């Protein structure tokens, strides 16, 4: 579940925008909780750090840029920021706040679509918890906690930083579930988190764990594995 704030003094626009965002996350089979604020001052009264903030640049009293500055002071770089505006040239004012998106209200559908791809990469990697069924219980794991998954004795084993978990499902289903997290499938029995890759060898991948795990990959998968890892390095 992602916790999201929309800060905009135009309530009609905020409601419409919230519907668009909810629908986009639903297409990715993801849940989100969205709270709307009419002013930056009201938003800052909330002590909870959220995952993602959509800030209207032209807010009454304190501007969206000033509110962004306060968010950075309070919470550091953890939350992601997206600016929303009616003025195209406002993009030049937002760089110092390390925003991951800039949405023009005059081009909202196209700009939101582009921004969503960045959100799915950056916000999910830091904030989204995946749910798994494991031996009669439910476990929740962040992407950064999951190292790799393997098929072992007809069972799926999720190897995490804090231990190993048998989980329900098939590797095909899990590959689809973790597609937005850039997981790579080098072999029919393995699915790996690219952030733990230490080295790609001729026929295997070395994962940087306390015991340095070696994962084989098929020669038919070599080009695909290298391409996906390159994409992760460039865009992740």
Reduced to 3 states (helix: H, G, I; strand: E, B; else coil), residue 155 is strand
Output the pLDDT for position 144.
86
CATH H superfamily, domain 129-235: LytTr DNA-binding domain (2.40.50.1020)
- Let me know how long the chain is: 236
pLDDT for the residue numbered 48: 77
This prediction's pTM: 0.63
Q: What is the pLDDT of residue 160?
A: 95
**What pairs with residue 4 in β-bridges?**
34, 52
pLDDT of residue 22: 94
CATH code of the region 2-127: 3.40.50.2300
Residue 39 is predicted with a pLDDT of 92
Q: d(Cα 157, Cα 143) in Å, to the nearest integer? A: 15
Query: How high is the pLDDT of residue 12?
Result: 94
Which residue ranges make up each domain of the chain? 2-127, 129-235
For residue 95, the model assigns a pLDDT of 64
Instruction: List per-residue pLDDT tens for the chain, 236 residues long.
Output: 789 999 999 999 999 999 999 999 888 878 889 999 999 999 999 877 788 999 998 888 888 889 999 999 888 878 889 999 887 665 556 667 788 888 999 999 999 998 988 888 777 676 778 899 998 899 999 888 999 999 988 899 999 999 999 999 999 999 988 887 889 999 999 999 998 999 998 889 999 887 889 999 888 888 888 888 887 776 65
Q: Is 99 exposed, middle or buried (0-12, 13-18, 19+ CB in 10 A)?
A: buried
| DSSP string over 42-99 | HHHH--SPPSEEEEESS-SSS-HHHHHHHHHHHHTTSSEEEEEES-GGGGGGSGGGT-
In this structure, what are the phi and psi dihedrals at residue 40, rounded to the nearest 5 degrees? -65, -35
- CA dist 119 and 56 (Å) reads 17
């Amino acid at each position: 579940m992602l916790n999201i704030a929309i800060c905009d003094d135009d309530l009609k626009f905020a409601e419409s925008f919230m519907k668009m965002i909810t629908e986009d996350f639903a297409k990715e089979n993801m849940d989100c909780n969205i709270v709307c604020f009419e002013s930056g001052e009201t938003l800052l009264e909330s002590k909870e750090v959220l995952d993602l903030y959509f800030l209207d640049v032209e807010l009454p009293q304190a501007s969206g840029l000033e509110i962004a500055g306060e968010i950075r002071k309070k919470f550091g770089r953890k939350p992601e920021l997206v600016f929303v505006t009616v003025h195209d040239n406002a993009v030049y004012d937002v760089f110092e706040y390390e925003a991951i998106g800039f949405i023009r209200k005059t081009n909202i559908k196209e700009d939101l679509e582009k921004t969503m791809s960045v959100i799915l990469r950056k916000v999910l990697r830091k904030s989204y918890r995946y749910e798994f069924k494991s031996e009669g219980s439910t476990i929740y794991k962040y992407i950064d906690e999951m190292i790799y998954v393997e098929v072992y004795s007809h069972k799926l084993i999720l190897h995490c930083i804090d231990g190993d978990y048998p989980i329900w499902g098939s590797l095909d289903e899990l590959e689809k579930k973790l597609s937005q997290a850039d997981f790579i499938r080098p072999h029919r029995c393995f699915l790996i988190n690219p952030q733990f890759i230490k080295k790609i060898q001729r026929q295997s991948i070395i994962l940087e764990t306390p015991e340095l795990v070696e994962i084989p990959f098929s020669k038919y998968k070599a080009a695909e594995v290298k391409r996906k890892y390159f994409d992760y390095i460039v865009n992740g």
